[in-house]
């Protein structure tokens, strides 16, 4: 079985090439080509034909295909549906901000977490992505769009901490100075609340931004929309966030989808304020995206503004996420589901 060379670090490639009798400097050449987006070993023009043939025999090298691409007429947001080597599809989104261009990538095909407000989880988990498949989303989004990527958010399809080893390897690859060289402080990782993964990540002290999909400060409400809360309740999750801050010194970001009559009341705001007391944090209030199969509705603008004011009055930084790509199914899982319906697939 061929090895996935793009999931390897420069050092791992060097060891493989040494085992093949090649000089050490070849690893730098190969690694550089891989992170420039070549689609075959034959494109590595400063490497001998004989070595290119050996690499083709030994290693797998695949580039994702654009299954669908949508460009927002409103704000230039680009939504990609990438077809992977086995035919499964994942989404990524390129968003343009004044501080730089951000790509939101997926970490799994489907998701096992079952959150009620998310289209990504409706078909369950199909499989986890390899490091190369996460890297390719960043790399080929940049290549196809012609727009330089400066920031990454792991907030697309899947739960990143459910695919910990592959995500950790991806972070090493995308951070490598000889590769895309995207700094950890320009990367955000979002989790629905896997406390064991948060603690593990804290020990690595990577200096990325940890983003928690909280969505409710009350156990009964959170459990009703996020099954993960049955395993790790709100109190246990917040304690893990405090441990993360104590270890890394990095402020925690909390994602909070505003759901009409569910989590947007003054009582919920007051409870959230108590939960976050003393924890350096930022709350990102998100207008809920409507999902066909879900009865949940977005909060009114008045409710969102009142919720934000309550948090800010208590000294908690709170912003309302700017809606990008609303005309192109830009929330995670929507484009993939439409593609499946049209093509009769279950990827």
Q: In whole angstroms, how far apart are CA 296 and each of 69, 106, 158, 291? A: 28, 24, 21, 8
Q: Are 180 and 138 in contact, with CB atoms under 8 Å apart?
A: yes
Q: Is 187 helix (H, G, I), strand (E, B) or coil?
A: strand
Catalytic residue positions, numbered: 91, 332
Q: Dihedral of CA 169/175/176/181: which sign?
A: positive
| Spatial separation of the C-alpha atoms in residues 223 and 3, rounded to whole Å | 41
Full DSSP string of 157-186: SS-GGGGHHHHHHHHHHHH-TTTT---GGG
Q: Where are the alpha helices (DSSP H) in the chain?
A: 10-19, 25-34, 49-58, 131-145, 164-175, 195-204, 219-225, 234-248, 266-276, 301-313, 334-343
Tokens describing residue 319: 């912003």
| Spatial separation of the C-alpha atoms in residues 42 and 40, rounded to whole Å | 5
Tokens describing residue 318: 């709170």
Q: Are 81 and 69 in contact, with CB atoms under 8 Å apart?
A: yes
- Specify the residue for token string 């705001």: 269
């Amino acid at each position: 079985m061929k090895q996935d060379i793009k999931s390897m670090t420069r050092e791992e490639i060097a060891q493989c090439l040494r085992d093949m009798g090649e000089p050490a400097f070849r690893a730098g050449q190969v690694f550089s080509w891989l992170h420039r987006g070549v689609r075959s070993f034959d494109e590595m023009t400063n490497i001998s034909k004989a070595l290119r043939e050996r690499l083709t025999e030994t290693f797998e090298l695949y580039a994702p295909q654009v299954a669908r691409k949508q460009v927002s007429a409103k704000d230039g947001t680009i939504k990609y549906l990438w077809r992977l080597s086995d035919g499964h599809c994942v989404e990524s989104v390129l968003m343009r901000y004044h501080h730089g261009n951000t790509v939101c990538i997926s970490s799994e095909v489907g998701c096992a977490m079952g959150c009620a407000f998310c289209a990504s989880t409706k078909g369950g988990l199909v499989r986890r992505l390899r490091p190369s498949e996460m890297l390719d989303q960043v790399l080929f989004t940049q290549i196809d769009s012609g727009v330089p990527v400066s920031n990454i958010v792991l907030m697309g399809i899947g739960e990143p901490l459910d695919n910990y080893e592959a995500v950790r390897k991806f972070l090493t690859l995308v951070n490598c100075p000889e590769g895309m060289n995207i700094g950890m402080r320009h990367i955000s990782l979002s989790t629905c609340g896997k406390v064991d993964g948060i603690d593990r990540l804290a020990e690595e002290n990577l200096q990325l931004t940890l983003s928690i999909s909280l969505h409710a400060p009350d156990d009964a409400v959170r459990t009703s929309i996020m099954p993960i809360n049955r395993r790790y309740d709100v109190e246990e999750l917040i304690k893990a966030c405090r441990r993360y801050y104590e270890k890394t010194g990095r402020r925690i970001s909390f994602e909070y989808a505003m759901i009409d009559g569910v989590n947007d009341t003054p009582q919920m705001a007051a409870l959230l304020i108590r939960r976050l007391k003393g924890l350096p944090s930022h709350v990102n209030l998100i207008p809920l995206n409507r999902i066909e199969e879900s009865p949940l509705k977005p909060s009114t603008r008045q409710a969102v503004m009142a919720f934000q004011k309550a948090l800010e009055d208590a000294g908690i930084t709170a912003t309302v996420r700017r809606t990008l790509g609303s005309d192109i199914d830009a929330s995670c899982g929507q484009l993939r589901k439409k593609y499946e319906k049209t093509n009769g697939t279950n990827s």
